[in-house]
Amino acid sequence: MISILDAKALDGNAEHLGISVESLMENAGKELAEIISDRFPSKKVLFICGTGNNGGDGFVAARYLSADATFIKEPKSPLAIKNSKKIKIEPYSDSLIERYDVIVDCLLGTGIDKDIKGEYARCIEGINQSGKMIISCDVPSGLGTNCAVVPDMTVTFHDIKEGMDESNCGTIIIVDIGIPSEAYDRVGPGDMIRYPRSGNDSHKGQNGRLLVIGGGPYIGAPAMSALAAARVGTDLIHVATPESSFTEISSFSPIFIMHKLPGDYVTEESVNTLLELSEKCDSVLIGPGLGTDPSTISAVRSFCTQCKKPIVIDADAITAMSGEHIRRNAPTIYTPHHSEYMRLCGDMDQMESSKELDSVIVLKGENDIITDGTRIRTNITGNAGMTSGGTGDVLAGIISGLLSKGMGPFDAGCLGTYICGKAGDLAFEEF
């Protein structure tokens, strides 16, 4: 089962891999037509099509069957318009349905998230009350809203979508329309649809509040992480750092909300302060530039086990958490490179380690591997020019920024690696 967002991301990734939307529509329409032809031979079929690509699927199927189609409003998507011109279109009326044996619902596709009103609602009610055999294309129109088609059968593409079951879809038939496995296995440009965009009515702090805990021995790492989080649209970025690195990190950007911790290192003395700060934030990044002083290792473990917010554990914090498989009671992302992973998990398989730690693990390398213990994906963006110091700090900042904006840990890990690598590829092309 996949979400509506997953389905849209798959389409985008498939297109990036050379499978056009037009090709997917052609395959979808052909598969739908074959099922109708096999199961309902000699029946008179009417396709009721919408303005978008769901309607386009219907127009293609109608073409294969030489069947009639109708629409309430003129098609808007270029592919729907193109395919609608190849078949006979009947003017829509409330009585039209009575002339047919099978009604194919291609009215509204995935992603409808508001109540259905007016002529669309009347059409759906007419379909449901018709007493005819009803087949929905991909998902029943209006699924999950106040007004939905209740079909006898749903022909869905690639996989079942969230919210679908036999009670609201009838018999569900899944068909392959040619989306390659790489469209899911690899993170791609289609996944950018997952990026949490700001609402027009949002205000300061609603689009992410992040706490970065780092610095002391090293200055640049936490600053680069914080800057990267800002670049992905995090509204408020708090940086907690020891007194020894406070002034230098403050100078990197006026947007940082700085918090001075006592001493040259993060120690147990600061844990309560950090826990209080974390309560004001949506996510936490801990590790960049912290160092591995014994007092810091103790503080990291204490903070991570008590903090209730989603955390990205990076760099020296990974070392601090190594040796004991510490499970947190909040979403957690580890971002190790190979050596850090070996310290953290030893020879254990990455998916097994993820289950053991109840955490997402982003294993950095030539190809990044992201898993939550049940799912696993690969990111192939990035290049050899990204081996310089600071790249991992930037990645941790991107992932923690996305986490602060409301993304789930697995999706934040996947999209974060893609964005970081793609930025590196664009920079490589420029220079």
As a whole number of angstroms, the distance between CA 205 and CA 310 comes to 17
Q: What is the pTM of this model?
A: 0.94
Confidence at residue 390, expressed as pLDDT on a 0 to 100 scale: 96
Confidence at residue 199, expressed as pLDDT on a 0 to 100 scale: 83
Per-residue pLDDT at 365 exceeds 90: yes
Confidence at residue 200, expressed as pLDDT on a 0 to 100 scale: 83
| Domain residue ranges in the chain | 4-185, 199-430
Neighbours of 86 (CB within 10 A): 10
Confidence at residue 262, expressed as pLDDT on a 0 to 100 scale: 98
As a whole number of angstroms, the distance between CA 333 and CA 106 comes to 41
Q: 291 — alpha (psi -120 to 50), left (phi > 0) or beta?
A: left
Confidence at residue 260, expressed as pLDDT on a 0 to 100 scale: 99
Calculate the alpha carbon distances from 128 to 60, 69, 337, 378 in Å.
Answer: 23, 18, 56, 44
Confidence at residue 324, expressed as pLDDT on a 0 to 100 scale: 79
As a whole number of angstroms, the distance between CA 403 and CA 424 comes to 21
Per-residue pLDDT at 133 exceeds 80: yes
Q: Which two tokens stand for residue 292?
A: 């591995």
Per-residue pLDDT at 276 exceeds 90: yes
Confidence at residue 268, expressed as pLDDT on a 0 to 100 scale: 98
Q: What is the mean pLDDT of residues 5-32?
A: 97
- Above pLDDT 70, what percent of the chain? 100
The band of 29, judged by pLDDT with boundaries at 50, 70 and 90, is very high
The band of 114, judged by pLDDT with boundaries at 50, 70 and 90, is confident
Calculate the alpha carbon distances from 236 to 149, 213, 280 in Å.
Answer: 44, 14, 10
Adjacent-strand bridge partners of 399? none
Work out the angle at residue 347's Cα, subtended by the Cα atoms of residues 343 and 349, and round it to the nearest 5 degrees: 115
- Above pLDDT 90, what percent of the chain? 91
Average pLDDT, the chain: 96
Confidence at residue 374, expressed as pLDDT on a 0 to 100 scale: 98
Confidence at residue 111, expressed as pLDDT on a 0 to 100 scale: 74
As a whole number of angstroms, the distance between CA 390 and CA 396 comes to 10
Q: What is the mean pLDDT of residues 194-222?
A: 94
Per-residue pLDDT at 378 exceeds 80: yes
Q: Domain 4-185: give its CATH architecture.
A: 3-Layer(aba) Sandwich (3.40)
**Closest alpha carbon to 164 in 146, 150, 176, 178:** 150
The band of 346, judged by pLDDT with boundaries at 50, 70 and 90, is very high
As a whole number of angstroms, the distance between CA 27 and CA 140 comes to 19
Q: Tens digit of pLDDT for each residue in 168-182? A: 999 999 999 999 999
Q: Tens digit of pLDDT for each residue in 243-255? A: 999 999 999 999 9
CATH topology of domain 199-430: UDP-N-acetylmuramoyl-L-alanine:D-glutamate ligase (3.40.1190)
Contact 400, 283 (CB under 8 A): yes
Q: Tens digit of pLDDT for each residue in 62-84? A: 999 999 999 999 998 898 999 99
Across 118-127, 215-224, 317-326, 376-385, least confident range: 317-326
Across 84-88, 109-113, 250-254, 347-351, least confident range: 109-113
Confidence at residue 430, expressed as pLDDT on a 0 to 100 scale: 82
Neighbours of 108 (CB within 10 A): 27
Return the half-sphere exposure (C-beta side, CA atoms, 13 A cut-off) of residue 365.
12
Confidence at residue 113, expressed as pLDDT on a 0 to 100 scale: 74
**Per-residue three-class SS string for the chain:** CECHHHHHHHHHHHHHCCCCHHHHHHHHHHHHHHHHHHHCCCCCEEEEECCCHHHHHHHHHHHHHCCEEEECCCCCCHHHHHHHCCCCECCCCCCHHHHCCEEEEECCCCCCCCCCCHHHHHHHHHHHCCCCEEEEECCCCCCCCCCCCCCCEEEEECCCECCCCHHHHCEEEEECCCCCCHHHHECCHHHHHHCCCCCCCCCCCCCCEEEEECCCCCCHHHHHHHHHHHHCCCCEEEEEEEHHHHHHHHCCCCCEEEEEECCCCCCHHHHHHHHHHHCCCCEEEECCCCCCCHHHHHHHHHHHHHCCCCEEECCHHHHHHCCCCCCCCCCEEECCCHHHHHHHHCCCCHHHHHHHHCCEEEECCCCEEEECCCCEEEECCCCHHHHCCCHHHHHHHHHHHHHHCCCCHHHHHHHHHHHHHHHHHHHHHHC
Contact 320, 294 (CB under 8 A): no
